[in-house]
Structure formats: structure tokens, C-alpha cells
Structure 1
Amino acid sequence: MHNLFKYLLLTLVSVNCCIGSNILFVSPVPSPSHHIWNRALAFGLVNKGHNVTLIGPDQDKVPKPANYTHILLEDIYDDLHDSFDINAFSSYSALRMMYEFEEWCLFSCKKLLKTNGLRRLLDYPPDFKFDLIIFDVTAGTCFYPLMHKLNYPPSVAVTAFLLPTYVANNFGNHLYPAYIPWYGLPYTTEMNFVQRVWNFVYMHFDIWLRYVKQYASEHDAAKEIFGENIPSMKELERHLSLVLTNTDPILDHPQAVAPNFIPVGGLHTRKSNNIPEDLQKLLDNAKNGVIVFSLGTNVRSDKLDKNIQKALLEAFSKISETVIWKFESELENLPKNVIVRKWLPQNDILGHPNVKLFIGHGGALSTQESIFHGVPMICIPFFVDQHINTRMIVKRKLGVSVDFKSITAGYMLRKLREILDDPTYRENMQKTASRFKDRTETPLERGIFWIEYVIRHGGANFLNTPARDYPFYVSSGLDVFVFLLLISIISISIFLKLIQLILKLFSTKTKVKVN
């Protein structure tokens, strides 16, 4: 009886040790989709009784729980929305995209560091204690010095950007350039030799560019705010002991991950609920089914070329299904079956039984929502991981791809008919959705467990593999391979020289004997 009481007491202590913990969630990536994913994790922690302070550049348009605080990093989007033209992405090379992404990260970093929101956080009383910091590590390191400022509480990294190469490398996961494509290349797991060469080059150049150039530049920018004596970004990053990644072998290309990588792909997905009344009525009354069209949060439909917009409307006018299009401004000459809204509760709408098809940009969160609800897709990719996600959707016959540069009314209509008339796509999506949901815990529950695990144990550095501290050529065994190759070449060379010498001596003796 005494042992049973002792066990129950220890269990109660271990469970309650992190309930009501103060968690700082650093979500600085200027991307509404990243905020949606991070907010889902933050709200999940709030629902478990934790006090979460989220700092980021996105306004929260949903009701805030009582123990959730949002600190706005203001005016970040002012200069970013007009910094690229989606119609020009067709001419972007992978190398140019890599450099521009690095420059965009540094540009947004400098703006983030000068916000009143960050000053508000830095003005917290010195005796206020955060029990854990969560960092979105997708785009930059400029807020890493918060760990130093807050006396190094246990810290966790997260990324909604699948598992980018630089995150995998920096946290000690092996790279698999032979069959895992770099996020900026339109490859699948089945690459030919030339593609594998390019994949290898881009993967490692991306790592070098970030490690050498971006880390140093952001460290210089951060010193203006946090002081000259802050440790290097690489040293600060070493205090992040665990990574939650938006990956899942059912949703993405399967790959092995180290123990400190926790796959929580589709963490933001959930059952449909709370659809606005006007949209609920539209969905319920759509006798011929519904097509949902949304290009996500970073790509605006109203920025598409006018000829493309016209071609899409013409194609939609020739089908009987109702089309609900997320279009950010006014749109004239709409066909009777096309409904335009400036904002859509995408996840909730996709869960309605009348939805037959989802037209999207191939972003990670959108494809995961579509798979979760078993809705086949037409993907119109523009940049970064959208091409990889689209190739995966096409390869598994979960949908089809559309090249936005080639859109005409006839081309789009053929793609629509292909999905709507072939039940294979929907059947494949339903099977994939069933596999994804068949698990002992949801991705959100898994993510929350491991965050609380880090709080309970004061970090999780014991899960890190030695590869995190080794250079690539050591962790991959490349140095040993090169050494053995050189030894083999030298040995073979010596052996051939000896054979040549013996033959020469034998030839000389033969000549002497003949003479």
C-alpha cells in the first residue's frame, strides 16, 4: 500500500511539474501560414493549462484564450507584400531563389529587431521567468539571443516548412541527397544521375550559404539590440535540443530522422467545425458539388495576370459545380456558379462532404489539409516547396499539376474534367487520409507531449546524435571513404609499378640470355 501511494505521488508530481508553465513562443517568420501552424501548437499548449506568450508579426483574428498573450511585431508586412511578383516566378532559377530567400531573411530580421513588440518583451521584469522557449527556426536566427537574455531556459525548435535541408543538417540529421529532393528543386524521390548531382550541390551550398553568410549577418544585426557580447548564433542554436518538424511519412517523402527530430506533420489539421453561416448554406445547397480554390496566404489570386484570371473564370463557367474562390479584391463578370470571398476557413470548408476538389498552390499546409479531409487536388505551384509537394501529389495520383504560365480556358477545363470524371483520385485521397488518421495519437498531441517532456527534464540534449557536432565529411564517413580510396589507389599503383619492374627485369634477363 505504501509503495502504491508513493507511485501515485511520483506520477502526480511528474504530470503536474509542467502544468501552468510559462512558455515563450517566438514566431518571427513573416508568413500567415506559419502563424496558423504555430498558433495551432500554441493553442494546444494553452488547452493543456500552460501560459503561452507568442511574439510574431501576424494579427490574431480568432478569439484568444485567457492564458494566451500575443505580442505583435508591428508593420513587418509593409515592405514585403510588394517585394515579389508571382507572375515572374517562372523565370527564377533555384540559385537565384536561394540568394533571394537569404536576403529576404536578413531584411525581415532587421525589421523585426527594431519593432516595439520586441522592446515590450525585453522590458519584462527581470524576475519574470519563462520555463521554455519555442523558436520557429524556418527563416532566421536573429531572435536566438533571447535565450541568452532569459538565462537559457530549455528551448525547442519548430518548423512548419516540412524539414528543410539546413534545419536537418544544423540539428544533426543525416542528409539523403540520393532520394530526398532539396526544397527548391522540382524533383521527386526518383532522380536520375544528373538530378542527384544538382540535388547534392544545392543541398550543401544552401547549408554553406546559411552557416557562413546568414548566421554572421544576423549576428551583426542582433548585436545592435542585444549587445556586443552575445554568443555566436551557432553556439546559441546548440541550446535548442529538440525539433518539431511538419513532416509525416504518409504526407511526405519518407526519410529517417534522428531521435531529436519529432515528426508532427499536419499538426494544424482538424475536423471541420464552425463554418460561417453564409458559407455553410452555400455548401449545403450545392447539388452538383463544390470546388474550393485558394492560393494560400502568401500568393494572392488578385495578383495573377488578368489573362489568367479571365481564362480561369471561362473554364469555371463550363462546369456544373459551385466554385468558391478566395480572391482578395473585387472580381467582375463572375459566372453564376463562382462565389468569391476575400477569406476562407479553408480547413473547415474542405471537411464538408459536398467538396469534390481543391485547387491550391501546393503549399505544405494546404496539401496536408486536403489529404486529411480526403479531397483530390489540382496544384498550381509557384515557388519553393510547392513544386516538391505538387510532384508528390501527382506521383501518388492524389491530384494533377497545372503550370500557371500555360493556363488557358481549355487547358484548365481538361484538368478539371480529369479530376472530376476519374474516381481514382478521390479513392486514393480517401485511402491516404485513412492511413494518416490511423494512429495512437494526433500530431498535435505528440508535439505537446515532447514539449512537456523537455520542460520536465530541463532539455533533451541527450537525444542529440554526435552528428550534430561533426562536419558533414566526418558524419557521413566521407573522410574515411576518401582515405581508403587513396590507400587503394596508392596500393594499386605500387602493385602495378612492381609488376612493371618485374616484367622489365625479366625482359632484360631474357635479352642477356639470348645475346
Structure 2
Amino acid sequence: MKCALVLCSLSFLYSQICHSANIVAFMPSPFYSHQIAFKPLWLALAKRGHKITLIQPNVIVENNENITHIVLNGTYDILDKYNHVHSLVEGQSVMKVLYAALEAVMEGLEYQLTHPGVQELLKGEKKVDLFFTEFLLTFGFSLGRSLNAPMIGVVSMDTTIEGHMSAGNPTHPVMYPDRDMPYPLPLTLKERMLNTLHWLVDRVMNEIFLNLQDRVASKCLGQQIPLNDIIKNVSLVFINANPLFNVVRPLGPKTVNIGGGVHLMEPQPLPTELQDYLDNARNGVIYFSLGSTISSKHLSNTTKEVILKTFSQLPHDILWKFDEEIVSKPKNMKIMRWTPQQDLLRHKNIKLFITQGGLQSVEEAIFNYVPMIVLPFFGDQHNNAEKMVARGFGLTLDHNKLDVRTFRSAILEVINNPKYRERTKESADLVMDQPMSGLEKAVWWTEYVLRHGQTDHFRNTLSDIPWYQFLLLDVILCFLVITVIVAYVSFKLLQLLKCLAYKLYGKLTRKIKTKIN
């Protein structure tokens, strides 16, 4: 009996062991926050003995024997060529920015797929056991298909309407608003109309974008299978849907929510100079950073003057992550080109974080109980700002309309009113109280796919339902047609009965008149 139990235990343990695998991770997005979000996952998998080829524009993991890099740094040259980020900061028209972005994306896709390192990987004879790629720029799945490997899609935030639909998750425009819509539930009639319109436009735009990506994949890889068909057969999708910022929706078995804060690393000591600066700040420190994509030097001179004048009037020390030195900076200000942001926000003397509102930055502040002022520029930043305010974590301001009085008032309100920090702490503690961390879930499910390969048993038929069936438009149309036909037939029958009644009435009247006469 004991032998049987031991054998069963050993068998179970063996089934959970995942031997060293050859993993390829293709993260094409040029935004640093999208790449750094999964650094803990790559490190955790490498620590477990897996060999990872990391294909992305930046080197985010250095000196690791189990991680090899294919660096797509030419992506930034293409981005600069179309001046995309600068256009966003300068507030150019939406259509002009979108057109430039589309051109940059398509040229970037071709550059990345034809990169010598990627082409060499395709020609290699070594078997790829698992392929990761972003679930936003989905052309990466064509590369995974060419490598003939099981695939996992990853998103550094919640996924799109199309992403949820492809994974078989509910995407009802009223019950589950898209991540880009800032409206809290329940929705008003106006918000329901806007959400539905957004849902329909997103479907159309996604089809156009998928067709463009298909052309690039066909040209660079000889891949003829439509992306739509490839995406529906991915093994799993990892989303970073923080419940503080996203509508909680039921997820199909193919989707694993590893959010939020999965990108947070283990605490590290601060550089001595920075540690001393924070320790010696009597009234605390205000930390100001616009992230890795938006550069503070691209702010207008008027906006910079307002910010500097406001900071000079505050009793707190200021730490500003800036790409270049400011000649006439206030005495209470320190400029740094780079900061270890996660560890910086852990310091007890950080009183306020002024940020552009990127999801990773906002999460880092929340999980360290730091209230915020958000100055959003583009993308999900505006929606993150609105949701942050709704949750009571701080305030948001328009960077194009900043004035000293409003900016100073907002800063002092968030620092001096304890409700913002208390609300941030309360919410963070609720989110972090989980039986398994997001990173642990990501590692376990990654090795699940390595152990079992494809996950066809998880496939949800919801991903195969056309949008018009999902919205019950065909059912509604049929009911309308049936109703119209029944109404029309009923109307004709009534007309016929009316005519017969008139004829009978006429005959009876004539007979009665004849008898009387």
C-alpha cells in the first residue's frame, strides 16, 4: 500500500516537472513599458532552466546565461522618421497622427520580420517548444506559426475587444465596455450608445489592420494563412487586467489574468546619492516623470515655465526625471536622466507622484501607496487618469492648459489631504491579497502549455460567432420580418373581412328594402 502511494506521488510530481525548453518571445512594440512588463516572467522562466530567445527593440535583461537577445533597435529609427511621439506631444490632429502611426507600424513590421536575426532563427534546425508574442500587434503569431510552435499571447494591459473575442471571452458593449472607454458601470443611455458605436468601429478597423498585417506576413514569411485563423488557435492569452482599472468580466479557459503589478521586481537598494537625497528631504519629495515614451524636453516652453514656477513655490523637494539639465531650476529641485522608479516609489518620503498615466507607472504608485497627479498625453493614459480619479487615488490635469494656481492647488490638495493615500492603500491591499501572484500564475500556465502542447480542449466557440449573431441582429431582424408579415397579413385579412361585411350588409339592406316595398 505504501509503495503504491509513493509511486502515485512520484508520478504526480513527475507530471508537474517541465524539462528545459527552447522558448522564443517576440515583443515587437517599441514602447519600453510594453517590454519591461514581462521582464519578471523571462527571469523566472530562465531561473527554472528554460532557454529564451528574446526578440524586442531593447535589451531589458542583461548578463543571463539562459537568455539570448535579438535586438530590433532599428524600430526606433522608423519611429523617429515618422515623428510619431513628437506629434502626440505637440497635439497634432488625430487623423494625421493615426496616419503617421499606421505608416510607421507597417514599415516597422516589415523591418522586424526581415531582421537577419529573425530570418536566421527561421532557418535554424533547433525545435522551438513555445512561442510568446504580444496580443496587440498580432502579426507576431505568423512568425510563431512559421516556427511551428505552440503560442501564448501576452498583453501588458487588458486586451482589446478583438483580443477578448478571439480568446472566446464576452465582449458585450454594454455589460463589458472596452478598456479604452472610461465610463464606470452602470452606463447611461448616451454611454451605452457610444460604447456600442466604439465596438462596431473597432471591429471594422481591426479587420483593416489585420489585412495589412497579413500582407506583410505574406511578403516576409510566405505566410498565407489569415491571422484571424491563427489567432483563434493560440494556446493561451495572458492579460494584465488590473481590477482597479478594468471591468471585471468572465474569462474563458484560454485567458489567464496575471494582473496587476506582474512587472514589479524584488526591492533593490537605491544608489547612494539618491538614497541620501530622499532621506534628507524634511518635507518629503514630489517625484515627476513622464515615463519612457514621452520626453519632458518635448513639453512646450510655456508648460515647462508653469511647472518650474509652481515647483519653486512648494515647500517640498522635487525630483524630476528629465533628459537634459535645466539651467535656471529652483533650489528645491533635482534633475535625473534615469531613476530606478520602482525602488524610488518605495521610499517613505515620496509624498506625490506626478505621472503621464501609463499603466505600469500607475500600478507602481498604487502598490506603494503613493497618491498621484496624472498629466495624460495619449493612448490609455487618459482613461487610466479618469479611472484613477474615480477610485480616489489622486487628480488629473490637462498639460496643455496648466497654470500655476491650478497646478499648485492640485499638488497641495493631494499631498495634504490624507484621503488619497488612504484610499490608495486600501485598494492596493485588496488587489494584492491573492492565493497566487500574477507571476506565479504566468509561470505555471507557461509550463502547462510546455507539458501538454496545444489547448484545443479549452477552445470556446464564442470566437467563431460572427458579430451580427453576437449582437442578435439576425434574430432581431427575423422577428421584425415575422412581425411585419403577420401584421401585413392581418391587415389584409381585416380589409377582406371589412369588404365582405360591407357586401353582406349591402345585400341584407337591399333585401330588407325589397320586403318593405
- TM-score normalized with structure 2 length: 0.91
Aligned to 1:254: 248
SS in 2 for 1:138: coil
1:49 positional shift:
2.6
Aligned to 1:206: 202
Aligned to 1:426: 421
Asked whether the 8 Å contact 2:171–2:177 carries over to 1, the reply is: no
- In structure 2, the CA distance between the partners of 1:290 and 1:272, relative to structure 1 (3 Å rule), is farther
- In structure 2, the CA distance between the partners of 1:371 and 1:501, relative to structure 1 (3 Å rule), is farther
1:100-179 equivalences under 5 Å are 101-124=101-124, 126=125, 128-141=126-139, 143-150=140-147, 152-179=148-175
User: In structure 2, what is the Cα distance between the partners aligned to 1:508 and 1:325?
Assistant: 94
Asked whether the 8 Å contact 2:170–2:249 carries over to 1, the reply is: no
1:308-327 equivalences under 5 Å are 308-327=303-322
Aligned to 2:355: 360
Further displaced range: 102-111 or 312-321: 102-111
Aligned to 2:9: 8
Would you say how many aligned residue pairs link Structure 1 and Structure 2? 506
Asked whether the 8 Å contact 1:292–1:358 carries over to 2, the reply is: yes
Supply the AA of the counterpart residue of 1:136: E
Aligned to 1:36: 36
Supply the AA of the counterpart residue of 2:141: Y
SS in 2 for 1:80: helix
User: In structure 1, what is the Cα distance between the partners aligned to 2:350 and 2:117?
Assistant: 41
Asked whether the 8 Å contact 1:148–1:230 carries over to 2, the reply is: no
User: In structure 1, what is the Cα distance between the partners aligned to 2:99 and 2:238?
Assistant: 26
Asked whether the 8 Å contact 1:378–1:400 carries over to 2, the reply is: yes
1:61-100 equivalences under 5 Å are 62-81=61-80, 82-85=83-86, 90=91, 92-93=93-94
SS in 1 for 2:54: strand
Asked whether the 8 Å contact 1:188–1:391 carries over to 2, the reply is: no
Supply the AA of the counterpart residue of 2:127: K
CA deviations 1:103-135 (Å, max 9, x no partner) are: 4432321221232332342343x1x11211111
CA deviations 1:8-39 (Å, max 9, x no partner) are: 221232122x2322211111111111110122
Aligned to 1:369: 364
1:482 positional shift:
2.8
User: In structure 1, what is the Cα distance between the partners aligned to 2:331 and 2:497?
Assistant: 92
**Pick aligned residue for 1:397 from 369, 392, 413:** 392
CA deviations 1:339-377 (Å, max 9, x no partner) are: 111111111111112211111111111111112112111
Asked whether the 8 Å contact 2:182–2:387 carries over to 1, the reply is: no
User: In structure 2, what is the Cα distance between the partners aligned to 1:99 and 1:511?
Assistant: 75
User: In structure 2, what is the Cα distance between the partners aligned to 1:185 and 1:97?
Assistant: 20
1:502 positional shift:
4.0
Further displaced range: 104-113 or 326-335: 104-113
User: In structure 2, what is the Cα distance between the partners aligned to 1:76 and 1:193?
Assistant: 43
1:478 positional shift:
3.3
Supply the AA of the counterpart residue of 1:148: R
Supply the AA of the counterpart residue of 2:437: T
User: In structure 1, what is the Cα distance between the partners aligned to 2:399 and 2:324?
Assistant: 20
Supply the AA of the counterpart residue of 2:6: F
Further displaced range: 390-399 or 252-261: 252-261
User: In structure 1, what is the Cα distance between the partners aligned to 2:292 and 2:264?
Assistant: 16
**Pick aligned residue for 1:293 from 268, 273, 288:** 288
**Pick aligned residue for 1:307 from 279, 298, 302:** 302
- The question of 1:417 aligning with 2:407 is answered no
- The question of 1:281 aligning with 2:250 is answered no
User: In structure 2, what is the Cα distance between the partners aligned to 1:275 and 1:120?
Assistant: 40
CA deviations 1:393-430 (Å, max 9, x no partner) are: 11111111111111111121111122112111111100
CA deviations 1:74-130 (Å, max 9, x no partner) are: 32101314334256564544x766655544432321221232332342343x1x112
User: In structure 1, what is the Cα distance between the partners aligned to 2:301 and 2:102?
Assistant: 31
Question: Which structure 1 segments of 5+ residues have no match?
Answer: none
User: In structure 1, what is the Cα distance between the partners aligned to 2:273 and 2:24?
Assistant: 37
- In structure 2, the CA distance between the partners of 1:500 and 1:391, relative to structure 1 (3 Å rule), is farther
- In structure 2, the CA distance between the partners of 1:89 and 1:384, relative to structure 1 (3 Å rule), is farther
Asked whether the 8 Å contact 1:245–1:262 carries over to 2, the reply is: yes
- In structure 2, the CA distance between the partners of 1:89 and 1:471, relative to structure 1 (3 Å rule), is farther
- The question of 1:486 aligning with 2:487 is answered no
- In structure 2, the CA distance between the partners of 1:249 and 1:503, relative to structure 1 (3 Å rule), is farther
CA deviations 1:423-478 (Å, max 9, x no partner) are: 11111100011001101111111111111111111122221210112212224433
Asked whether the 8 Å contact 2:110–2:220 carries over to 1, the reply is: no
User: In structure 1, what is the Cα distance between the partners aligned to 2:355 and 2:127?
Assistant: 42
Q: What is the root-mean-square deviation in Å for CA atoms of aligned residues? A: 2.4
